[in-house]
Structure 1
Amino acid sequence: MRILLVSPAFHGYWRAIAGALQTLGHDVVTHRYDDAGRRQHLLTVLAHRVPSERVASAAAESMTDHALTALHEARPDAVLVVKGDALTARWWDALASSGTRTAAWLYDELERMSYDDATLGVVDTVFSYSKGDAAALAERGLPAVHLPDGFDSLAAYTPQPRGLVNFVGARYPERERLMRVLSARGIPVAAWGREWSRNPWDVLRTRKWKGAGIPAHGDLSRNDYYGVMAGSLATLNVHGNGHDGLSMRTFEAPGVGGLQLIDRPDVADHYDVGTETLVFTSDDELVDHVQRAQREPGWARSIREAGRRRTLAEHTLVHRMQEVVRRWA
């Protein structure tokens, strides 16, 4: 099929999804709706940083204009919209009247997006990374199914050996607290991401005036943070409250052969806890896992290898896109 992928630019996942679809033999045209040229990029940045309905509306209308052009020019057999809640009703109306196969994949909870049932009802299938949201939508009569995040098995990376626990991502209070807990117990740690960084430009744009008190670095490309996770003693994966779905990191850390420390017991839906990934439910349990990994590298290595095997067998983005395409058959 000729598939139009309409996605945000977020961490280059559009490229990973397109690669997965191409691996399955499809012709893919990609459109990054929040990064379609300099003007669109500027409007998107302003909409995130300036609390103005006028700016937000201008950004949404501009995104929609570009997306409609992409739809007209691509003449696709199918359209996959990733997230997409920033697009206006004009986009969804055009999609409904296009006669093409359609799907939306939501990697955030509905409560943090501006969707209503009428809009989501336009597409053939709504895929959600949130099991709870998928069930709630299905109960309301919408064509919704649960589709977890996955690992980009096509990405190239080089392991970066580091005898520390890493965290890559946004700086939320619980994540910061746990990194400090580990550091206080004498365990080397480091965090990556603009909100952790002490680079003056990062501090200015994130307004995180006070440092976290641990070694911190700026943003990494996805290929580079795959390398950090692959080479570290362990990878901390903290979801915290308000997230029903499991993050991309849940599949990426074991996918690159990293030792994952995750705060979600329901990861057992996808991995065998204790042999393929590690769950912690308290500070002491987290510290115990890390200290055992330091003492028993063979034990840690066995979990890394088993987690990678399971990921490559079941949890890649190619697997996820197989499910999307199957619904279009």
Structure 2
Amino acid sequence: MRPPERTRRILLVTPVFHGYWRAIRDALQARGHTVVVHCYDASANLRQRVQNKVVHEIPGTAPARSAQREICDRALAALRDSRPDALLVVKADLLGERWWQAVADARVPTVLWLYDELARIDYSLETLREIDSIVSYSPRDVARLQAEGIDATYLPDGFDSLAGFVPRPTPAATFVGARYPVRERLMRKLADAGIPVKAFGREWSRHPWDIARTRQFTNPGIPTGPDLPRSDYYGVMAGSLAALNIHGDDHDGFTMRTFEAPGVGGLHLVDRADVDRYYDVGTETLVFTSPEELVDHVARARKEPRWANAIREAGKARTLAEHTLVHRMGTVVARWR
């Protein structure tokens, strides 16, 4: 049984990002804490939608700097009004130096959670040195930060075990996420082998609005679906013939999908052999190191559902026992000093 933690009033400052703010909030509340949430890139009105678009699409310009100041102002108001005992900041490179100076002045125990590689986030080492504690999903970045004398800890992603979902029977190997060339090639390889496939996400979607906003004019040549709310794609993974998790070569951390696919009871197929630090390969999850091996795994799942179901059940049990976001928040809580 988990020992009781000191109850805190936590301010969670986070991007909207597929509603993961709810998952983090719920995990902290499940551990007994009170949580106030500020989504710094929320688009509650047209002005805020325009500000977010300007900041991301024309960074460094005068309109972008003006929008960034207003976004930071709203975060500063949340910090002032909530009077937190502890602060969990997720990514937040958009907020800038003025935000971090205010956090330092407030003297609130703070953890910064980075769910992406530093190479894709706008932080200087000088800024990171001033933050109480950093947790990152990237082992490579943690090693780099520690070598620089920065307080950094590895924190893998996890499964939102508190989210409700309904399995959606989908007799296909599915992929949910961004459309990258390596992912497209693997999905086509499966389709060419006679295995039904379906990819979900706005970059895959053939809806005219999605094509216009993503500029993905070429058809991937496989069945596709739109961007899905998280509860819906949990249902898709749970009901799929197989749930694919394709990282490619540019990630050294494991995505949320690594824990979500087995967590919902999906047959998880991942392209990373080092997933064995979390799951027993072959009994709790499946690894593929080539397109041919991927085809073989999915073909066997079609022919041997009892074999596939045993892996589903074991992977789900392991996830719920060790890899939920409630578990992960224990690491965050321990960093508040």
After TM superposition, the score normalised by the length of structure 2 is: 0.95
Aligned-partner SS, 1:88: helix
Indicate yes or no: 2:290 matched with 1:282.
yes
Residue equivalent to 1:64: 72
Are residues 29 and 272 of structure 1, via their aligned partners in 2, closer, same or farther at CA, if it must alter by over 3 Å? same
Distance 1:51 1:5 in 2: 25
One-letter code aligned to 2:133: T
Residue equivalent to 2:217: 209
Give the unaligned 5+ runs of structure 1: none
Indicate yes or no: 2:23 matched with 1:16.
yes
Aligned-partner SS, 2:95: coil
Per-residue CA shift, 1:262-289, capped at 9, x if unaligned?
1111111111111111110001100000
Residue equivalent to 2:51: 43
Indicate yes or no: 2:83 matched with 1:75.
yes
Offset of 1:37 from its aligned partner? 3.3
Offset of 1:41 from its aligned partner? 2.5
CA contact (8 A) 2:59 2:65 kept: no
* Percentage of pairs with the same residue: 60
Per-residue CA shift, 1:148-176, capped at 9, x if unaligned?
00000000000011110000010000001
Indicate yes or no: 2:41 matched with 1:34.
yes
Distance 2:166 2:244 in 1: 19
Residue equivalent to 2:229: 221
Of residues 237, 241, 260, the one that matches 2:245 is 237
Alignment of 1:173-188 (within 5 A): 173-188=181-196
Residue equivalent to 1:129: 137
Of residues 9, 30, 40, the one that matches 1:2 is 9
Q: Write out the 4+ residue segments of structure 1 that deviate beyond 3 Å after TM superposition.
A: 49-52
CA contact (8 A) 1:226 1:253 kept: yes
Give the unaligned 5+ runs of structure 2: 1-7
One-letter code aligned to 1:182: L
CA contact (8 A) 1:226 1:252 kept: yes
One-letter code aligned to 2:196: P
One-letter code aligned to 1:80: L
Aligned-partner SS, 2:265: coil
CA contact (8 A) 1:36 1:66 kept: no
Q: What is the aligned-residue RMSD (CA, Å)?
A: 1.1
One-letter code aligned to 1:234: A
Distance 1:273 1:230 in 2: 19
Residue equivalent to 1:254: 262
CA contact (8 A) 1:40 1:62 kept: no
One-letter code aligned to 2:307: W
CA contact (8 A) 2:246 2:271 kept: yes
Offset of 1:61 from its aligned partner? 1.4
Offset of 1:48 from its aligned partner? 2.8
Distance 1:121 1:24 in 2: 29
CA contact (8 A) 2:203 2:210 kept: yes
After TM superposition, the score normalised by the length of structure 1 is: 0.98
Offset of 1:52 from its aligned partner? 5.9
Distance 2:211 2:333 in 1: 42
Aligned-partner SS, 2:42: coil
Residue equivalent to 2:323: 315
CA contact (8 A) 2:174 2:243 kept: yes
Moved more, 116-125 or 189-198: 116-125
Offset of 1:17 from its aligned partner? 0.2
Distance 2:17 2:66 in 1: 20
Offset of 1:123 from its aligned partner? 2.1
